[in-house]
Structure 1
Amino acid sequence: MPPIIEFTAPPLPHYIVSGSSLVPIGGKHPSRFNIGVFDLLVVTKGCLYVGEEGRDYEITEGHAMILRPDSHHYAYEGCREETMHHWLHFQILGEWRVMEEEVYRQNLGNYSSRDNANPLCLPAYSPTSYTVPLPQFTKLAQPQKLVDVMNELIELGHSIHLDSVRLKQQVLFQEVIMQLSAAIGRDGPSPQSACAERAASYLREHFREPFSAKALGESINFHPVYIARCMQKVYGCSPAVYLLRLRIQQAKLLLLQTDLNVELIAEKVGFNQAAYFTACFTKMEGLSPRKYRQRFIWTKE
């Protein structure tokens, strides 16, 4: 099976340039090595015969392939018929990696297998990073929709000297990324990921209420032990710890956004006792709720 290219955002991938090419019978896609940018190929007619790193692909109508910036790709055969394709160069300025699809699906949704931090462990106003998978080779679910976007990108290229057009191109390119990524998710999440996500949704909706593993299990129709196992795999913690982190995260927002006292904030995020809230907050953040708030209070010297 073709590999998966997974990148961490932000930052989002950056559009560079695109176009379309008609390859005659016997013509070939150019062979290149370490070109420094990703090259997306979308065939609308005919077939391109392209290989990369020892794997050969037939990119037929309705299929897309992403050639990597750090690899050798080559044409292993000339076109047997007149072939039309769109191409698009883009760059990922942040972290990215390549993995086999089987490995990707095994780790789907598993925080413990990633380098990025669990969002519930970040400061209140920190941007939350996330990963986006792109199939290196895929049959498109809606090929014409993707081609329409690429045609619009090409048309906008005539006015590339305008900053507003460059911005619009970047916005349109994110639609290309979304369509490519959606090709991976057609099979849906794994059963463990689905269970963990349902449990997390329940906890987010009921985080102010006393925690009950039994109530959680009855609500989403899974045994509490299985839920705990799934959440440990996907989020790296038990339901109770997930809930505690969520409550502390909500408390940090209230400490920054309101003038409510600590006792009332504790109550609003689901703690019965302010002292226990302060102890949990201090253990997790390294300072008390009051000192956390004071860090962001401006005082005139």
Structure 2
Amino acid sequence: MPPIIEFTAPPLPHYIVSGLSALPVGGKHPSRKNIGAFDLLVAVRGCLYVGEEEREYEITEGHALILRPDSYHYAYEGCREESLHHWLHFQILGDWRVLDEEEYWSSRGRSHESDPQDYLSLHPFATTAYTLALPQFTRLAQQQKMAEIISELTEMNRHIHLPSVRLKQQALFQEVILLLSASLESDRPTPQSLCAERAASYLREHYREPFSAKKLGKAINFHPVYIARCMQKMFGCSPSVYLLRLRIDQSKLLLLQTDLPVERVAEEVGFNQAAYFTASFSRFEGMSPRKYRQRFAYNKS
């Protein structure tokens, strides 16, 4: 099983920088050694094939991998399809260690603390250290929320020269840490999560087609109402909204990696009307498709 990274706070993990990267077929995540910072990768679409030391990971949609600052990580295979992922560099300035899963859960079953009321009465002004654990590789419990937070952090980099923005980034980044920690507690699949994942998988394969709740239910053999309830719990949205976000994410790839007109991009990802595509893209991304291309096209690989 993937290792677990446990750290002592304070101090809290420190945000450095983040971004959104698109990789074409055959594209690879850069290979690096001892970069001095943790590198969080969150897949939006496609798959990254990344190894660290002797372990190899397939980072598919909704999964996250933390690459350690003291290790060699590398791409062991190029992308088999166009892929999109968030990346975020952060640092833990305090103590941290790597545990295997058995060791971690075993240590959680043992208590090393005395009565907290007794401690507070003896040390009323002391700073009490505590530990937090992050799964090195996990399926995110709230992948959409994670993507939204990292996107907001990346957008805030445009105003990084303002001290108030830097402080807001550090506060917002703690939500990333909490989401990663929460994923450790919810790694075991439930019937609801399995249903939601089957529905999501179907939508990923058929995102260009018109949406039909009835057709989706028939395809994966679940009632549409149950599917909607499971996806709301798993992804925080209905199947139709999940599909809309999927199309928007795919359109980002086309905007960054091709020179197709916006109208053609809309058609390629399943929108019947370019105006509806532009309105939907603007609502989710806070800017029009043309503005998005102008701002981020220089990052394309």
How has the CA–CA distance of structure 1 residues 117 and 126 changed in structure 2, closer, same or farther, with 3 Å as cutoff? Answer: farther
Offset at 1:186?
Answer: 2.5
8 Å CA contact 2:42–2:86 kept in 1: the answer is yes
Counterpart residue identity of residue 163, structure 1: P
Letter of the aligned partner of 1:57 in structure 2?
Y
- Distance verdict in 2 for CA 1:117–1:137, change over 3 Å: farther
Contact 2:47 2:59 in 1 (8 A): yes
Q: Distance in 2 between matches of 1:38 and 1:117?
A: 33
The answer to whether structure 1 residue 167 and structure 2 residue 167 are counterparts is: yes
Name the CA distance, whole Å, in 1 between partners of 2:74 and 2:80: 16
Could you tell me how far apart the structure 1 residues matched to 2:6 and 2:111 are? 14
Contact 1:111 1:118 in 2 (8 A): no
**Secondary structure, aligned partner of 1:27:** coil
Contact 1:42 1:62 in 2 (8 A): yes
Unpaired runs of 5+ residues, structure 1, are 189-301
Q: 1:19 to 1:187 in 2, by over 3 A?
A: closer
Render the CA deviation track for 1:78-136: whole Å, top value 9, x for unaligned.
00001100000000000000000111001115344xxx998554622101111000000
Quote the Cα distance in structure 1 between the aligned partners of 2:71 and 2:166: 28
- Structure 1 residue 54 corresponds to structure 2 residue 54: yes
The 1:153/1:187 distance shift into structure 2, 3 A limit, reads: closer
Residue type of the alignment partner of 2:37:
V
Identical-residue share of aligned pairs (%):
67
- Cα distance change of structure 1 residues 98 and 22 upon mapping to structure 2, 3 Å threshold: same
Are 2:101 and 1:83 equivalent residues in the alignment? no
Measured after TM superposition, the shift of residue 184 of structure 1 is 1.1
Task: Give runs of aligned pairs for residues 27-42 of structure 1, distance below 5 A.
Answer: 27-42=27-42
**Counterpart contact for 1:6–1:131, Cα < 8 Å:** yes
**For residues 274-289 of structure 1, what are the structure 2 equivalents within 5 Å?**
none
Deviation at 1:185, TM superposition (A): 1.7
Partner Cα separation in structure 2 for residue 187 and residue 25 of structure 1? 30
Q: Which residue of 2 is the match for residue 153 of structure 1?
A: 153
State the Cα distance separating 1:141 from its structure 2 match: 1.1
The TM-score with structure 2 as length reference comes to: 0.59
Helix, strand or coil for the counterpart of 1:132? strand
AA aligned to 1:181 is S
1:5 aligns to what?
5
Whole-Å Cα distance in 2 between the matches of residues 82 and 133 of structure 1?
32
Alignment-mate amino acid for residue 86 of structure 1: H
Q: Return the letter of the residue paired with 2:179.
A: Q
Listed as ranges, the gaps of 5+ residues in structure 2 are: 189-301
- Higher CA-based Rg: 1
Give CA deviations for 1:229-287 in whole Å, capped at 9, x if unaligned. xxxxxxxxxxxxxxxxxxxxxxxxxxxxxxxxxxxxxxxxxxxxxxxxxxxxxxxxxxx
Consecutive aligned runs of 4 or more in structure 1 exceeding 6 Å deviation: none
SS of 1:107's equivalent in the other structure is helix
Q: What is the root-mean-square deviation of aligned Cα atoms in Å? A: 1.7
CA distance in 2, matches of 1:30, 1:52: 12
* CA offsets 1:41-87 (integer angstroms, 9 cap, x no match): 00000000000120000000000000000000011000000110000
Residues 164 and 109 of structure 1: is their aligned pair in 2 closer, same or farther, counting only changes over 3 Å? farther
For 1:117 and 1:108, locate their aligned partners in 2 and report how far apart those are by CA, in whole Å: 15
Equivalent runs, 1:48-197 vs 2, <5 Å: 48-108=48-108, 110-112=110-112, 120-121=118-119, 123-186=123-186
Please state if 1:16 is matched with 2:16.
Answer: yes
Instruction: Give the Cα–Cα distance (whole angstroms) in 1 for the partners of residues 56 and 187 of structure 2.
Output: 25
Report SS of the residue matched to 2:151. helix
Instruction: Work out the CA distance in 1 between the residues paired with 2:48 and 2:136.
Output: 15
User: What CA distance in whole angstroms lies between the structure 1 residues aligned with 2:114 and 2:33?
Assistant: 34
